[in-house]
Amino acid sequence: MAYSTDADEIFPTLQQIVSDTLRVPIEQVTRESALSDLGMVESIKLLRVAGKIERRFDIELDDSLFFQGVSMGRLVDEIAAQRAAAVSGEAA
Amino acid sequence: MSTSPEPAVPLPTTVTLLDGLFTYAAERHPAQLIGSTDPARALPFARLEHDGVAVAAALLERGVRRGTPVVFPAGDAADFFPVLNAIVSVGAIAVPVSARAGRNPASAARLRHIVEDCEAALILADDDAVPVLREVLPDVPTHPLSALLAAARTTGVPATAPPGLRPADRNPEDLALIQYTSGSTSRPRGVALTHRNVLAALRIIPAALRPHATDVISHWLPLSHDLGLFGTLASLGCGIRICLSQPRDFIKQPDAWLAASCEAGATILVGPDFFYQYLVEAVPADEVTRYDLSGVRMALNGAEPIDPAGLDLFARHFAPAGFRREAQLPCYGLAEATLPVSFDSPLRPPAVDWVDRAALNDALKAVPAGTGGRGIVNCGTPAPGVEVRVTAEGETLPERSVGEIEIRGEAVTAGYYRESEPSARPGGWRGTGDLGYFADGCLHITGRSKEILILAGQNHYPQDIEDAVREAPGLFRRSAVAVVLPADPGAGLPERIGVFAEVASEGPHTATVTAIRRTAAEVLGGASVDVVLLPALGISRTTSGKFQRLLMRKRLLEGTLDNALAHITAAEVLTAPGTGPGGAPSHG
């Protein structure tokens, strides 16, 4: 199942994963919100989000990214970058 | 005639030094496996001894001297145990630290305090932590662990043992290991453990649990934490199959971890309370039957307060997978006891003592009450070789009276490393800082005498959050204090940190609250906090100007904090303030 590396596709999927895992209404997960803004986030929940993203997009992410209060927008860029690398890696 | 399973062979009393455990395990159980649930990727016990001796020779070449502490990361078993074996083999002192130590500023600061507290002679670190550590700790030699291991594995075991290797005049009273799980970030306290302490604990655990030779233990606990480290070393001593995963791998894909553990035939699970709740969340009810947990004999639950409702929920959730309630085994232990203090009986389901909440809080008495009261999980009887008593002002209390739990025994530390004043009490008793009571000879833990928040097995101290949030923008003279707030099940809030912050300006204070929330999250590994905003000088102080944290906490909980401007709970969603392009957090 090819993944588009286009950021507009990635964000809705990321929104769904974060909303399901942290049990936060999806409309409150905006591009600017950082995970710690979303309330009651614990390290285990953060890593669970990371695990689901990695499984869903078939990529590896640097975990510390999740602990530095980065925004959803930044995560989308990181996922897009890893996907692009993976796709070009496969193509090479 | 069903033959009863053969008991595991106990560790012989001839083994009196920690490196002796590795030598014995390599001779007695050379082919037994430790590591991945996939046997092809696991390691035979013999390898931990072989690599250990090779690394010891490499340490001697690097001038590691007897009696000096060596700090090293608790990564995977294949590296961790040979290095532990090597350090004690040259008579140095092993100081295991989190594998993530030194990777970011917060953990580098904590590591700096540990290295200074124990005056470490050498730091072994993962490659990407080495540059950070050399900058933060310029005057302590820091070597990449990978290079040391690679060199040791290529040169292999020296033909003739170098003189410094396992000198004959070593003594079980020598220090073997320092456990830095107590104390706050800025004032860490290293639990100093002798070979004698450690070996005593490695005999107490199997004496209490009586493992079978065919048992398989599976866990993912960090090896820098007493439950993970000594649970694994005790398993090495018994010669049972050990499945170890990294904490990160479990937390990221808990369902995959559970499937692999069942596949490997796990009969013993061990972890803090949150581990079991996390599995209930990770495995939807309609997928439970994909797993076979009928073989699990013991599901040890320790290192954290145990939620009675959580025990029941786990047992019911996984019953369709064959999980038996009798396997649930609450236990109590801590670093100061090396690990073991008490274990519940494996022969019956866990028991909960329901007591009257007011009598417990106000009169410090555990008066039996209906299930409407507070449920305290029964943590069983003291393990053989560990003495336990409950005291107040040095007086031993009768049953069902709440006081501080004190312990004594061969596995109990004599004190903290280089402590300024002795922390042991008369008669060799040691305070645990935990509160509880005995009922029918069984230990019940009710809380802690000192302010600690335990999240996912990790200790957090309000002091650490206070130091971090003081830089938040908009504070009046950097005035902020932190306390531990009790769980509020009604509002869906667990036990968490609450920050009282004085703000100078009128408001709105979104940037201040967001900054406090994000900074605290970095210290708490992502967890969010309550924020209570107060006007300038709104935090009450003593006549000498010292913040009165517990008074503020009491007034907040009683609802008599009338000068509060706002109370944003940890669960509330913040709308991100105008954080500029790319969503970079406003606090820079």
Domain-embedded: residue A60 = yes
Amino acid at residue number B562 = D
From A52's Cα to the closest Cα of chain B, the distance in A is 7
| Integer Cα distance of B465 and B482 in angstroms | 7
Interface touch B585/A31, C-beta < 8 Å? no
Interface touch B583/A28, C-beta < 8 Å? no
ipTM above 0.85, yes or no: no
| Angle at which helices B77-89 and B145-155 cross, to 10° | 80
CATH no. for residue A32? Answer: 1.10.1200.10
Domain-embedded: residue A2 = no
Decide if A39 touches B, using CB distance below 8 A: yes
First to last CA, chain A: 18
Decide if A90 touches B, using CB distance below 8 A: no
**DSSP class per residue in chain A:** -PPP--HHHHHHHHHHHHHHHHT--GGG--SS-BGGGGSS--HHHHHHHHHHHHHHHT----THHHHTT-BHHHHHHHHHHHHHHHHHHHH-
Task: Return the pLDDT at A86.
Answer: 80
Domain-embedded: residue A45 = yes
| Total of domains in chain A | 1
State the average pLDDT over residues B313-323: 98
Interface touch A42/B518, C-beta < 8 Å? no
Give the tens place of pLDDT for each residue, B485-539: 988 878 888 889 999 999 988 778 999 999 999 999 888 888 899 999 999 989 9
Give the tens place of pLDDT for each residue, B15-52: 999 999 999 999 999 999 999 999 999 999 999 999 99
Residues in A closer than 8 angstroms to B522, CB to CB, are 67-69
CATH 1.10.3720.10 assigned to domain B298-448? The reply is no
Boundaries of domain holding A48: 7-91
Give the nearest partner residue to A36 out of B282, B456, B526, using CB atoms: B526
Interface touch A73/B248, C-beta < 8 Å? no
Residue of B nearest to A22 (CA): B571
Interface touch A44/B524, C-beta < 8 Å? no
- CATH for B18-252 is 3.40.50.12780
Interface touch B585/A70, C-beta < 8 Å? yes
Domain boundaries, chain B: 18-252, 298-448, 454-568
Domain-embedded: residue A29 = yes
Domain-embedded: residue A85 = yes
Decide if A22 touches B, using CB distance below 8 A: no
Sign of CA dihedral B242, B247, B251, B256: negative
Residue with tokens 């992502």: B526
Decide if A14 touches B, using CB distance below 8 A: no
Fold observed for domain B454-568: GMP Synthetase; Chain A, domain 3 (3.30.300)
Residue B584 binned pLDDT confidence (cut-offs 50, 70, 90): very low
Residue with tokens 């065919």: B214
Task: Tell which phi-psi region holds residue B175, choosing left (phi > 0), alpha (psi between -120 and 50) or beta.
Answer: beta
Task: Return the pLDDT at B579.
Answer: 43
Beta-bridge partners for B331:
B343
Residue of B nearest to A52 (CA): B252
**DSSP class per residue in B501-565:** EEE-SSS--HHHHHHHHHHHHHHTTT---EEEEE-TT-S-B-TTS-B-HHHHHHHHHHT--TT-S
Beta-bridge partners for B242:
B34, B217
Give the tens place of pLDDT for each residue, B383-429: 999 999 999 988 999 999 999 999 999 999 999 999 888 888 999 99
| Integer Cα distance of B137 and B252 in angstroms | 32
In residues, how long is chain A?
92
Decide if A74 touches B, using CB distance below 8 A: yes
Q: Is the pTM of this model over 0.90?
A: no
Domain-embedded: residue A14 = yes
Q: Where are the alpha helices (DSSP H) in B12-144?
A: 18-28, 45-61, 77-89, 105-118, 130-136
Q: Do domains B18-252 and B454-568 have the same CATH topology?
A: no
Give the tens place of pLDDT for each residue, B57-102: 999 999 999 999 999 999 899 999 999 999 999 999 999 998 877 7
